[in-house]
């Protein structure tokens, strides 16, 4: 019987009831859950980030409030340069990623193209390679004396500085992140109601004019959403510039300052503040842009643009473009594979010889890494879907005060770069000891799992929200009208119906947490606590370890690939289940 | 939790055997897994009652870490290459006084005392610095291996050299400081800048250099010897040599004060100094110079022997105190003059080299004068040696927390900005002059 | 505006093996308001879109005026089409939406402004010129879509189920508006719908399509009173169809139902088929027997406002009888035995 049942309340007559309402609010289980989650997010997200922000505004010697650190930051040319470089790299990555994604999106949505499966897989392949792992492989293929340049120099006498300085970062990031733009752009192009296009054709427009005046503006919101996401992720990424030795960008500077000068260095915090502020601004800008322009709901139907068949010459160009991009996209995977099976690869287009020894070495040395990864990512993903489901329910089904805030708070984690979260945790938890032991909390392995959990929460939350939105409120109400309490109806009706989405969210959370590096690298204290991503980083630090590191990288790729495929499969199956007779 | 589970089982197992020894020894080290691994395995095999817990941190991070947990210390051992890092900890009274028993270990390696005279830290292996190169790369670019530091400044190596920065790597710091002490402050810095003018890159971690040479990303690298040896032993087409101006410096190990497991820590250090322990250093993945002369009998062919070959490491007597006093300052100077302004430096030096080539035989005095001026601008330093040793000035670069006595006149950022401005202007001007000279 | 007729000659269209349009021939007069009527899947929208130039190219000829447009791109045809979803572009204001076609034709902007204003006046929505489409109601959107189309002065106007997304009450109002506008502009117009009431009340002539074939072409009255097939008869209004055969006895034609009931036929009736079509309003229902009446039993009655509709089992089938709900009439209860007298003046034998 629920707490709101009058009999129940009556039986609690006494002191509690005579106290004013606001002192002892009528708390149901859902209320308690909301409060608990709020505290969790506060302690694991807001407080560490706030700590970081505060330190940036403090004088390091006296602790007094000051803007001096920021002044110092902007007066220092290195930092100004890093700021500009981060901005430049992020923007250029968006540009290059668009250049890759746009033709692909256009080909799939505009034409009957039998290679569409190919393009869909293009959208998936880069995402399964953690970018920092890809960076190493890209160096081998596109570096100064990598495969491509050696061959170019031999055959044609020139080389292309693909990987010099910032270019390398831009190249690796664009190839890794263009799927975001491809997926969003394809979706918004596909969402364009065919009659939008036909109406324009009917009134005399076609070709490029049509694209410019009608198609592109309608696809813009989707594109902007994807582009903003790419921008933030590149801006905040630590692993790729680190492994490419590019230090004059914001994230690596923050990492280097904190790790070499210490957690008392104010500059690391100033950079963190800038990273966070910029991320939040980008997110906000993209939301602003999207608001009022959600064209999907204004158009009735969709159906996408009219497709036509490709003429012969166009077919050749289309296939050519797709295959070229495919090769580009596969190059890090290819390089990694070669490295993992290679003996020695030095100043040559290909390794000297091939062997399985690296895999053996990797296996012998990585059992701890793999077990840790399963543990951390497992905990992170489990917590993510639990909290995600709870928040989704609270936001969509209850009227609890501040529920929107819960949503925003959880989603805000998107704007916090991994490196900042890591620094925040170090700072916040290093003075606290783990209960019952002498270990400072900052070096406790659980912190790593919690950081992963927070970082992946926004995605899990979105998955859970989407899953819950598909469960009509009427289903719950039907259960309640037949006598089930709120809790039982959630348990027996809502959650089972959300299973597909929850499972998909779990799998994605797990797979991406398994290869996170930015926060991990700040928080890992000892090799026995290290997960996969850190393990790869460690392997790459020794001459004999590169092959094994690559082998471990392949393992990481496989983990993410399986996770992504499984998640897709679950969603598809779930869709089929729901599509029969579900229309309202 | 796996740790609690593990220690519970361990406790039960240990108590069942009757011995209730505290097994865990926590080691903070900057050495990579490839080195700590074999040593840990060997130690635990020899001392099954102990379990080594290795925490891997870069040298400066490790020092910071120990400073930070000092109030409630959980570390037993600090284990790193750079003796100056130990000096910093010693200065903070964070190293314990212990007595280590060992046999057959001399007092010095090369010209350098192995152990801290105050008994706070001990040497267990030696290392020197030198030049590593990729044979294929050199062949393809028509280059000869460089033998001396000065060679690396030659125009033919422009854009082919890699190095890490002293702020990122304790061993690189030692390399830099060695040259500064060996050649003198001004000459030393000048040399570094001219060599840096030939840099392809400054890597983030010391391993980035041998990695770059191994993969052929750049042709030559300034590295610590074991990187060269182990890379070669791993099969890469690389080689290594010591220049004449080098120091052989011990790699050290020390017990942290208030260590939770002092007996374990002492056992560890003592093990490192045993013949078996020393032999582990010859593992192809490690390749460090043992300090027990007898071990060299088991060394592979071609492995250098500092006890027999007096050319290695004798020329520079490394002053650890000096190094420690200006540790952070040197880091900053290198970063500001070289790391962060690499592009400017490179293009300026390149321009001067081009001008020199153009006027090699021209006899054009004016041009030569301009070139000399340009070099002078490159070589110019923002501070002289005396200032570098001025405790108050050097203190600006030290981040000591919450010491009320620390009144800094100028903040580090301010000073750094000053230097940066000077350096940028100088390099730009040098480039201009060189271009002008080349045009004549 | 010049009036152009539309001639469709022998148009065939198939998607793979499915024949979507078969042997379509039509002649639409200039200025005519013509309807394509039919159930879903009948091909009426496909035919309309073929005229506009959307979808695969059919065989045959489609002449607008005297220009064969088969195979021409849609943007060259100068036909105005209003889509079922109105297809107003959400990122452009009403003014920009309406002016779009003029801009494509490179009309100078001062002129565009004038024409747009005029078009908006025509649909009485000049005050909404600067709004965005998502601020408009369904009816307003439809009128803007219309304005957008007529402002470019097309040769013909094509309306693809323009009223189906509107509320019932609005639909009635809008179809009158459409008709008024069409008369005012004199544009040849094709109106596609599945609702026979819409077609009946607006068009001059209509074509009924089923499975891609034109069943009958004519005015609403013609199709209602003189359907040429059972399908048409059923589609327009309610039809009672009794099976049987035509007999001639003693010089008088009559229809004998399967159950043996006799229905007299007028002398001038034609048709030798096995079905007779009787409209509900032409059958009277009474408790008393009369000559030539059909006996039956009331199964069900529905109150339709102006009519009472009885479902009577008679003649071997269920017959729908509509009785005018006039003051003072007799309400027959369910289950009563009744007699039906058919006024066969307008009966059709098919």
- Per-residue pLDDT reduced to its tens digit, A451-509: 999 999 988 888 888 888 878 888 888 888 888 787 788 888 888 888 888 888 888 88
C-alpha dist (Å) from residue A253 to B56, B172, B285: 21, 19, 31
Question: What whole-number distance in Å separates Cα of residue B348 and Cα of residue B342?
Answer: 10
Q: Does A4 touch chain C (CB under 8 A)?
A: no
Mean pLDDT of C230-253: 85
Least confident range of A94-108, B390-404, C81-95? B390-404
Touching, B vs A (3+ Cβ pairs under 8 A): yes
Among chain C residues, CA nearest to A202: C75
Mean pLDDT of C68-73: 90
Identify which of A203, A220, A300 has the shortest CB distance to residue C101.
A203
Place B249 in a pLDDT band, splitting at 50, 70 and 90. confident
Question: Which of A54-68, B341-355, C241-255 has maximum average pLDDT?
Answer: B341-355
Residue ranges covered by each domain of chain C: 6-234, 238-349
Torsion of CA A98, A99, A103, A109, to 10 degrees: 0
Among A91, A430, A83, A44, CA closest to A234: A91
The distance from CA B134 to its chain's CA centroid, rounded to whole angstroms, is 21
Size of interface A-B (CB pairs under 8 A): 148
Contact A329, A336 (CB under 8 A): no
Write the secondary structure of B208-253 as one string of H (helix), E (strand) and C (coil). HHHHHHHHCCCCEEEEEHHHHHHHHHCCCCEEEECCCCCCCEEEEE
- Give A301 or C38, the one with higher predicted confidence: C38
Contact C222, C190 (CB under 8 A): no
Q: In this model, does residue B251 exceed pLDDT 90?
A: no
> Distance, in angstroms, between A120 CA and closest chain C CA?
27
| Helix-then-strand count for chain A, H and E | 28, 2
Pick from A112, A204, A221, A309 the residue to mutate for testing the C interface (most C CBs within 10 Å). A204
A77 CB neighbours in chain B (<8 A) are 417, 420-421, 424
- Most distant CA atoms of chain B, gap in Å: 88
**What local confidence, expressed as pLDDT, does residue B225 receive?**
86
**What local confidence, expressed as pLDDT, does residue A304 receive?**
64
Q: In this model, does residue A422 exceed pLDDT 60?
A: yes
Residues 6+ apart with CB under 8 A from B118: B90, B97
Q: In this model, does residue A15 exceed pLDDT 70?
A: no
Give the three-state DSSP class for B123.
strand
Place A536 in a pLDDT band, splitting at 50, 70 and 90. confident
> Distance, in angstroms, between A542 CA and closest chain B CA?
7
Identify which of A245, A259, A544 has the shortest CB distance to residue B208.
A245
Place B16 in a pLDDT band, splitting at 50, 70 and 90. very low
Structural domains of chain B in order of their starting residue, each with its CATH number: 2-128+250-298 (3.40.190.10), 133-246+320-439 (3.40.190.10)
Residue with tokens 């729908």: C320
User: Is residue B44 packed enough to be buried (19+ CB in 10 Å), middle (13-18) or exposed (0-12)?
Assistant: middle
Place A365 in a pLDDT band, splitting at 50, 70 and 90. confident
DSSP string, B41-109: HHHHHH-TT-EEEEEE--HHHHHHHHHHTGGG----EEEES-HHHHHHHHHTT-B-------SS--SEE
Mean pLDDT across chain C:
88
> Does domain C6-234 match CATH 3.30.930.10?
no
Q: In this model, does residue A2 exceed pLDDT 60?
A: no
Q: In this model, does residue A22 exceed pLDDT 70?
A: no
Could you tell me which chains touch chain C, where touching means 3 or more CB pairs under 8 A?
Answer: A
Question: What whole-number distance in Å separates Cα of residue C225 and Cα of residue C236?
Answer: 9
State the CATH class of domain A70-354: mainly alpha
Residues 6+ apart with CB under 8 A from C271: C246, C348, C349, C350
Mean pLDDT of B211-226: 89
Touching, B vs C (3+ Cβ pairs under 8 A): no
Percent of chain C with pLDDT over 70: 99
Structure tokens at A564: 């992504």
Plot region of C161 (φ>0 → left; ψ -120 to 50 → alpha; else → beta): left
**What local confidence, expressed as pLDDT, does residue A579 receive?**
65
pLDDT in tens, A183-195: 888 888 887 888 8
Among chain C residues, CA nearest to A301: C85
DSSP string, C193-224: ES-HHHHHHH-SEEEEEETTEEEEEE-HHHHH
Q: How many CB atoms lie within 10 A of CB B312?
A: 23
Question: What whole-number distance in Å separates Cα of residue A342 and Cα of residue A365?
Answer: 18
Among chain B residues, CA nearest to A263: B64
Question: What whole-number distance in Å separates Cα of residue A365 and Cα of residue A358?
Answer: 10
In chain C, what is the straight-line distance between the N-terminal and C-terminal CA atoms, in Å?
A: 43
Residues 6+ apart with CB under 8 A from A33: A390, A394
pLDDT in tens, A278-337: 888 888 877 776 665 555 544 555 566 677 777 888 888 888 888 888 888 888 999 999
Cβ <8 Å between B216 and A375: no
Identify which of B55, B203, B231 has the shortest CB distance to residue A526.
B55
Among B362, B364, B347, CA closest to B434: B347
Mean pLDDT of B266-280: 91
Question: What whole-number distance in Å separates Cα of residue A391 and Cα of residue A33?
Answer: 9
**What local confidence, expressed as pLDDT, does residue A502 receive?**
87
Contact B294, B275 (CB under 8 A): yes
Place A356 in a pLDDT band, splitting at 50, 70 and 90. very high
Question: What whole-number distance in Å separates Cα of residue C222 and Cα of residue C29?
Answer: 17
Residues 6+ apart with CB under 8 A from A463: A385, A388, A501, A502, A504, A505, A508
Contact A508, A564 (CB under 8 A): yes
Give the three-state DSSP class for C323.
strand
Q: In this model, does residue B223 exceed pLDDT 70?
A: yes
Strand partners, C160: C192
Among chain A residues, CA nearest to C82: A199
> Distance, in angstroms, between A224 CA and closest chain C CA?
15
pLDDT in tens, C302-350: 988 888 999 999 877 888 999 888 887 778 889 989 998 888 777 888 8
Percent of chain B with pLDDT over 70: 90
State the CATH class of domain A25-66+356-579: mainly alpha
Place B21 in a pLDDT band, splitting at 50, 70 and 90. very low
**What local confidence, expressed as pLDDT, does residue A143 receive?**
87
A346 CB neighbours in chain B (<8 A) are 134, 136, 214-216, 236-238
**What local confidence, expressed as pLDDT, does residue A496 receive?**
84
Write out residues 30-69 of B within 8 Å (CB-CB) of A.
32-34, 37, 53-56, 58, 60-61, 64, 67-69
B32 CB neighbours in chain A (<8 A) are 538, 541-542
Least confident range of C2-6, C110-114, C202-206? C2-6
C-alpha dist (Å) from residue A415 to A279, A283, B174: 5, 7, 40
Q: In this model, does residue B289 exceed pLDDT 70?
A: yes
C81 CB neighbours in chain A (<8 A) are 198-199, 202
**What local confidence, expressed as pLDDT, does residue B111 receive?**
67
ipTM, 2 dp: 0.81
Question: What whole-number distance in Å separates Cα of residue A76 and Cα of residue C209?
Answer: 79
Mean pLDDT of B272-296: 88
Pick from B217, B237, B327, B403 the residue to mutate for testing the A interface (most A CBs within 10 Å). B217
Query: What's the topology of domain C238-349?
Result: OB fold (Dihydrolipoamide Acetyltransferase, E2P) (2.40.50)
**What local confidence, expressed as pLDDT, does residue B196 receive?**
94
Contact B87, B69 (CB under 8 A): no
Alpha helices of A111-213 — where are they, by DSSP H?
A: 116-122, 131-142, 147-156, 166-190, 194-202, 207-210
Q: Is the pTM of this model over 0.90?
A: no
Among chain B residues, CA nearest to A150: B140
Cβ <8 Å between C81 and A306: no
Alpha helices of A351-444 — where are they, by DSSP H?
A: 357-397, 403-412, 418-429
Cβ <8 Å between C90 and A214: no
DSSP string, C91-149: TS-HHHHHHHHHHHTT--HHHHHHHHHHHHHHTT-GGGTTS-GGGS-HHHHHHHHHHHH
Mean pLDDT of B191-219: 88
> Distance, in angstroms, between A324 CA and closest chain B CA?
26
Q: Does B422 touch chain A (CB under 8 A)?
A: no
pLDDT in tens, B151-186: 999 999 999 999 998 887 777 888 888 888 888 899
**What angle in degrees, to the nearest 10, is found between the helix axes of C138-150 and A194-202?**
30
Q: Does C137 touch chain A (CB under 8 A)?
A: no
Q: In this model, does residue B18 exceed pLDDT 50?
A: no
Q: Where in chain A is the domain with CATH 1.10.3720.10?
A: 25-66+356-579, 70-354
Positive/negative CA dihedral, B39, B42, B47, B50: positive
**What local confidence, expressed as pLDDT, does residue C99 receive?**
92
Question: What whole-number distance in Å separates Cα of residue B227 and Cα of residue B220?
Answer: 13
Mean pLDDT of C52-63: 91
Place A581 in a pLDDT band, splitting at 50, 70 and 90. very low
Question: What whole-number distance in Å separates Cα of residue A94 and Cα of residue A231?
Answer: 6
Q: In this model, does residue A12 exceed pLDDT 50?
A: no
Question: What whole-number distance in Å separates Cα of residue A38 and Cα of residue A459?
Answer: 18
- Kind and range of the H or E element at A333? helix A312-341
Q: Does A205 touch chain C (CB under 8 A)?
A: yes
Cα three-residue angle A74-A79-A80, rounded to 5 degrees: 60
Cβ <8 Å between C75 and A193: no
Contact B303, B128 (CB under 8 A): no
Mean pLDDT across chain A:
83
Give per-residue burial for C84-99: e unless 16+ CB within 10 Å, then b: bbbbbbbbbbbbbbbb
Cβ <8 Å between A204 and C87: no
Cβ <8 Å between B236 and A543: yes
Cβ <8 Å between A198 and C73: no
**What local confidence, expressed as pLDDT, does residue B17 receive?**
35
> Distance, in angstroms, between A515 CA and closest chain B CA?
20
Q: In this model, does residue A7 exceed pLDDT 60?
A: no
Could you tell me which chains touch chain A, where touching means 3 or more CB pairs under 8 A?
Answer: B, C
**What local confidence, expressed as pLDDT, does residue B404 receive?**
32
Contact B104, B292 (CB under 8 A): yes
**What local confidence, expressed as pLDDT, does residue A159 receive?**
84
Give the three-state DSSP class for B165.
coil
Torsion of CA A194, A197, A202, A207, to 10 degrees: -140
Contact C347, C282 (CB under 8 A): yes
Q: In this model, does residue B146 exceed pLDDT 60?
A: yes
Question: What whole-number distance in Å separates Cα of residue A182 and Cα of residue B182?
Answer: 58
Cβ <8 Å between B55 and A525: yes
């Amino acid at each position: 019987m629920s707490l709101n049942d009058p009999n129940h309340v009556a039986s609690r007559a006494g002191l509690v009831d005579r106290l004013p309402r606001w002192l002892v609010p009528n708390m149901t289980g859902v209320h308690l859950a909301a409060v608990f989650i709020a505290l969790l997010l506060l302690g694991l997200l807001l407080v560490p980030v706030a700590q970081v922000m505060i330190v940036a505004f403090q004088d390091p010697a006296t602790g007094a409030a000051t803007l001096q650190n920021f002044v110092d930051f902007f007066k220092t040319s290195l930092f100004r340069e890093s700021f500009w470089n981060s901005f430049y790299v992020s923007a250029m990555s968006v540009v290059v990623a668009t250049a890759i994604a746009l033709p692909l999106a256009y080909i799939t949505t505009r034409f009957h193209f039998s290679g569409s499966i190919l393009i869909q897989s293009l959208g998936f392949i880069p995402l399964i390679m953690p970018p920092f792992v890809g960076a190493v492989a890209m160096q081998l293929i596109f570096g100064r004396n990598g495969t491509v340049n050696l061959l170019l120099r031999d055959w044609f006498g020139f080389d292309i500085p693909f990987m010099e300085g910032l270019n390398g970062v831009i190249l690796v990031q664009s190839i890794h992140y263009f799927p975001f733009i491809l997926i969003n752009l394809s979706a918004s192009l596909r969402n364009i109601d065919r009659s939008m296009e036909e109406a324009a054709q009917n009134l005399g427009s076609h070709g490029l004019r049509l694209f410019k005046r009608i198609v592109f503006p309608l696809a813009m919101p989707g594109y902007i959403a994807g582009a903003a996401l790419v921008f933030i992720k590149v801006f905040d990424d630590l692993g790729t510039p680190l492994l490419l030795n590019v230090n004059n960008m914001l994230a690596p500077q923050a990492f280097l300052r904190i790790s070499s000068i210490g957690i008392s260095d104010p500059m690391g915090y100033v950079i963190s503040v800038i990273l966070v502020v910029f991320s939040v601004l980008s997110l906000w800008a993209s939301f602003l842009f999207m608001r009022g322009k959600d064209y999907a709901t204004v158009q009735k139907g969709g159906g996408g643009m009219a497709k036509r068949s490709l003429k012969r010459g166009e077919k050749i160009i289309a296939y050519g473009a797709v295959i070229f991009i495919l090769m580009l996209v596969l190059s890090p995977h290819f390089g990694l594979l070669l490295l993992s099976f290679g003996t020695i690869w030095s100043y040559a287009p290909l390794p000297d010889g091939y062997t399985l020894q690296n895999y053996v070495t990797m296996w012998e040395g990585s059992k701890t890494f793999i077990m840790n990864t399963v543990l951390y990512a497992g905990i992170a993903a489990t917590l993510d879907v639990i909290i995600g489901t709870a928040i989704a329910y609270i936001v969509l089904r209850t009227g609890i005060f501040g529920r929107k805030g819960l949503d925003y708070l959880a989603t805000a984690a998107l704007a916090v770069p991994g490196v900042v979260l890591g620094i925040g945790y170090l700072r916040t938890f290093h003075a606290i000891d783990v209960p019952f032991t002498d270990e400072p909390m900052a070096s406790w392995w659980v912190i790593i799992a919690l950081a992963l959990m927070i970082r992946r929460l926004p995605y899990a939350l979105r998955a859970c929200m989407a899953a819950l939105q598909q469960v009509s409120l009427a289903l719950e109400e039907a259960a309640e009208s037949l006598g089930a309490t709120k809790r039982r109806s959630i348990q027996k009706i809502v959650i089972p119906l959300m299973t597909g989405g929850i499972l998909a969210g779990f799998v994605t959370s797990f797979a991406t947490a398994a290869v996170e590096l930015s926060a991990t690298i700040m928080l890992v204290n000892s090799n026995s606590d290290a997960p996969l991503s850190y393990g790869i980083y460690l392997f790459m630090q020794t001459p004999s370890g590169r092959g094994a590191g690559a082998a471990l990288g392949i393992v990481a790729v496989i983990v993410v690939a399986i996770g992504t495929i499984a998640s897709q499969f679950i969603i598809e199956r779930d869709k089929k289940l729901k599509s029969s007779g579900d229309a309202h | 939790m796996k740790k609690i589970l593990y220690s519970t089982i361990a406790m039960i197992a240990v108590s069942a055997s009757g011995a209730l020894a505290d097994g865990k020894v926590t080691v903070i080290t900057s050495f990579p897994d490839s080195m700590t691994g074999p040593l840990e395995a060997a130690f635990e095999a020899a001392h099954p009652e102990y379990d080594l817990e290795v925490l891997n941190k870069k040298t400066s991070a490790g020092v910071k870490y120990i400073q930070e947990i000092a109030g409630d210390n959980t570390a037993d051992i600090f284990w790193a290459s750079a003796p100056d890092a130990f000096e910093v900890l010693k200065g903070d009274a964070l190293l314990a006084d212990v007595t280590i028993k060992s046999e057959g270990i001399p007092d010095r390696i090369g010209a350098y005392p192995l152990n801290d005279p105050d008994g706070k830290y001990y040497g267990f292996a030696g290392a020197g610095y030198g030049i590593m190169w990729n044979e294929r790369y050199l062949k393809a670019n028509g280059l000869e291996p460089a033998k001396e530091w000065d060679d690396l400044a030659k125009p033919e190596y422009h854009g082919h050299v890699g190095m890490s920065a002293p702020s990122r790597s304790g061993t690189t710091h030692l390399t830099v400081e060695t040259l500064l002490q060996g050649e003198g402050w001004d000459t030393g810095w000048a040399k570094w800048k001219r060599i840096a003018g030939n840099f392809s890159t400054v890597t983030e971690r010391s391993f980035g250099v041998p990695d770059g040479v191994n993969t052929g990303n750049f042709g030559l690298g300034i590295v610590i010897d074991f990187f060269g040896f182990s890379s070669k032993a791993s099969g890469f087409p690389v080689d290594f040599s010591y220049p004449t101006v080098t120091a052989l410096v011990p790699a050290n190990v020390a017990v942290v004060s208030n260590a939770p497991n002092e007996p374990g820590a002492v056992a560890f250090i003592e093990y490192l100094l045993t013949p078996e322990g020393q032999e582990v250093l010859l593992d192809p993945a490690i390749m460090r110079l043992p300090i027990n002369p007898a071990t060299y009998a088991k060394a592979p062919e071609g492995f250098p022997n500092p006890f027999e070959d007096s050319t290695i490491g004798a020329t520079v007597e490394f002053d650890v105190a000096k190094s420690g006093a200006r540790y952070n300052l040197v880091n900053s100077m290198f970063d500001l003059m070289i790391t962060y302004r690499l592009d400017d430096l490179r293009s300026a030096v390149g321009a001067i080299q081009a001008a020199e080539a153009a006027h090699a035989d021209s006899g054009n005095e004016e041009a030569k004068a301009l070139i000399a001026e340009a070099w002078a601008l490159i070589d110019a330093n923002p501070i002289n040696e005396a200032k570098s040793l001025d405790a108050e000035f050097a203190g600006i670069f030290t981040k000591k927390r919450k010491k009320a006595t620390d009144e800094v006149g100028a903040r580090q950022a301010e000073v750094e900005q000053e230097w940066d401005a000077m350096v940028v202007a100088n390099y730009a001007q040098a480039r201009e002059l060189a271009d002008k000279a080349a045009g004549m | 505006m010049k009036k152009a007729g539309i001639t469709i000659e022998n148009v065939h269209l198939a998607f793979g093996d499915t024949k979507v349009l078969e042997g379509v021939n039509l002649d639409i007069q200039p200025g005519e308001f013509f309807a394509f009527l039919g159930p879903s899947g009948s091909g009426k929208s496909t035919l309309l879109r073929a005229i506009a130039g959307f979808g695969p190219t059919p065989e045959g000829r489609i002449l607008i005026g005297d220009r064969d447009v088969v195979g021409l791109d849609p943007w060259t045809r100068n036909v105005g089409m209003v889509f079922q979803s109105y297809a107003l572009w959400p990122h452009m204001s009403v003014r920009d939406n309406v002016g779009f076609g003029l801009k494509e034709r490179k009309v100078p902007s001062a002129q565009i402004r004038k024409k747009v204003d005029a078009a908006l006046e025509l649909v009485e929505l000049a005050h909404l010129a600067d709004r965005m489409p998502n601020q408009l109601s369904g009816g307003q959107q439809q009128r803007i879509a219309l304005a957008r189309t007529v402002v470019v002065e097309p040769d013909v106007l094509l309306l693809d189920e323009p009223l189906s997304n509107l509320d019932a009450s609005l639909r009635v109002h809008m179809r009158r508006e459409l008709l008024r506008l069409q008369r005012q502009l004199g544009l040849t117009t094709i109106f596609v719908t599945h609702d026979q009431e819409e077609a009946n009340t607006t068009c001059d002539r209509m074509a009924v399509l089923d499975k891609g074939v034109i069943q009958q072409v004519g005015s609403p009255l013609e199709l209602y009173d003189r359907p040429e097939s059972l399908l048409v008869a059923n589609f327009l209004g309610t039809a009672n169809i009794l099976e049987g055969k035509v007999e001639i006895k003693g010089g008088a034609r009559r229809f004998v139902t399967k159950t043996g009931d006799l229905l007299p036929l007028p002398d001038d009736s034609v048709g030798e088929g096995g079905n007779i079509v009787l409209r509900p309003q032409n059958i009277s229902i009474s408790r008393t027997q009369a000559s030539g009446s059909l006996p039956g039993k009331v199964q069900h009655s529905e109150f339709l406002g102006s009519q009472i509709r009885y479902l009577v089992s008679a003649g071997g089938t269920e017959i729908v009888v509509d009785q005018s709900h006039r003051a003072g009439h007799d309400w027959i209860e369910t289950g009563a035995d009744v007699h039906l007298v058919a006024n066969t003046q307008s009966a059709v034998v098919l």
